[in-house]
């Protein structure tokens, strides 16, 4: 199978036992999250080889995340435990419609110890897609050097790059994000972005503005996720569109990461543009039906019958 590589913080994610404002919630379930890790899990479940580069605290929670990732079949040979940096936490607030809010405790994330020198040719050997996200970049300005190095290596080695801006305005300002994305976009082959976030990044989200951005940075596949309204993509001069699947969402956090995994799986396996959007929509939809960032990520034999509306008899 094809191999993907991603880099990012792993978090202990605390899912609330009740919906509504966090200040009234007293019970939480300890789960695992992190945008790039969710992506890596999504890819592994679909059957891709999935490598995740990270740093974890040398503590109980670090072990939880490591064992979880390993249990999902992710290549964790580039995940290290570091002293003096506690594993990051994320408390989630969930509203009645399933949408979520994050409250981070990650000021001293273990991933601050990752260095540009950790990005090597050897790390990228055999990789078919390098997937990066704005979350990692938002953690520390120093991470730009790491991303610059891995992007240059990927270019040298002709490895395509997918990127999800994953704009987190609790982590950095829109100005910082914009300046950083200007540096990253020229390396990106596949951009996977939410409609609302690209509107914040570009200041508008008209079709002309999206095409202008795709052309300015020479982004071959410019994919727009719009949740329950479906997804669109501008690919080599043409627009493609696919409606969303109707589900009853209970926790939408992580749906975008699932969408990305579905899209990249489909692209690597030669699916046509509309089929890529369809699989990605299917993965994203299924994520929202289960509590937790990644528990709902489907295996291939779950998502295919779902998107083709096949009846699965279980008895
Ligand atoms: O996409 C899901 C993420 O938002 C969540 O897992 C936490 O990585 C995370 C982040 O920093 O937002």
Which of 48, 240, 210 lies closest to 130 in space, CA to CA? 48
Sign of CA dihedral 282, 248, 234, 154: negative
Structure tokens at 56: 């974890």
Give tens-digit pLDDT for 21-78: 999 999 999 999 999 999 999 999 999 999 999 999 999 999 999 999 999 999 999 9
3-307: in CATH 3.40.1190.20: yes
Element (H, E) at 7: strand 3-7
Rounded to the nearest whole angstrom, what is the distance from the C-alpha of residue 233 to the centroid of ligand 1?
Answer: 23
pLDDT given at position 49: 98
Ligand 1 centre to CA of 257 (Å) is: 9
Nearest CA, atom 7, ligand 1: 34
Nearest atom in ligand 1 to the alpha carbon of residue 293 is: 6
The pLDDT of residue 312 is 76
Question: 256 C-alpha vs ligand 1 centroid, how far in Å?
Answer: 10
Atom number in ligand 1 closest to CA 104: 11
Q: Mean pLDDT over all residues of the chain?
A: 97
Where the chain has pLDDT below 70, the residues are none
Among 94, 140, 168, 171, the mutation site with the greatest number of ligand 1 atoms within 8 A of its Cβ is 168
Q: Which atom of ligand 1 is nearest to the CA of 9?
A: 8
Query: What is the CB < 6 Å shell around ligand 1?
Result: 11, 13, 33-35, 38, 90, 102, 135, 168, 253-254, 256-257, 293
Rounded Cα gap, residues 241 and 224, in angstroms: 9
Which helix (H) or strand (E) element contains residue 33?
A: strand 28-33
pLDDT of res. 315: 78
Supply angle C-alpha 162, 73, 309, rounded to 5. Answer: 70
Q: Quote the pLDDT of residue 310.
A: 85
Q: Which of 257, 260, 293, 301 is catalytic?
A: 257
Active site residue 257: yes
Q: Atom of ligand 1 at shortest distance to CA of 256? A: 1
The distance between the two most distant Cα atoms of the chain, rounded to a whole number of Å, is 55
């Amino acid at each position: 199978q094809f191999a993907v590589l991603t880099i990012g913080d792993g978090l202990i994610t605390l899912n609330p036992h009740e919906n509504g404002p966090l200040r009234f919630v007293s019970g939480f379930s300890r789960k695992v999250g992190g945008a790039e890790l969710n992506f890596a899990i999504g890819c592994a479940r679909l059957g891709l080889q999935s490598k995740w580069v990270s740093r974890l605290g040398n503590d109980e929670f670090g072990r939880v995340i490591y064992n979880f990732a390993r249990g999902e079949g992710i290549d964790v040979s580039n995940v290290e435990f570091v002293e003096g940096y506690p594993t990051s936490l994320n408390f989630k607030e969930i509203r009645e419609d399933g949408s979520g809010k994050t409250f981070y405790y990650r000021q001293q994330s273990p991933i601050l110890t990752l260095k540009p020198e950790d990005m090597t040719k050897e790390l990228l050997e055999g990789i078919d897609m390098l997937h990066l996200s704005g979350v990692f970049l938002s953690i520390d300005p120093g991470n730009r050097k790491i991303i610059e190095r891995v992007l240059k290596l990927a270019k040298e080695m002709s490895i395509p790059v997918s990127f999800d801006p994953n704009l987190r305005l609790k982590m950095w300002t829109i100005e910082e994000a914009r300046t950083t994305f200007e540096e990253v976009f020229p390396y990106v082959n596949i951009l996977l972005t939410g409609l609302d976030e690209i509107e914040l990044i570009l200041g508008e989200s008209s079709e002309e503005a999206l095409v202008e951005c795709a052309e300015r940075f020479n982004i071959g596949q410019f994919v727009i996720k719009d949740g329950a309204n479906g997804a669109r993509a501008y690919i080599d001069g043409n627009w493609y569109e696919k409606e969303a699947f109707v589900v009853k969402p209970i926790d939408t956090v992580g749906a975008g990461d699932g969408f990305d995994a579905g899209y990249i799986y489909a692209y690597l396996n030669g699916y046509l543009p509309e089929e890529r959007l369809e699989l990605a929509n299917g993965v994203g939809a299924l994520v929202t039906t289960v509590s937790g960032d990644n528990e709902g990520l489907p295996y291939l034999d779950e998502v295919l019958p779902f998107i083709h509306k096949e009846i699965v008899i279980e008895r």
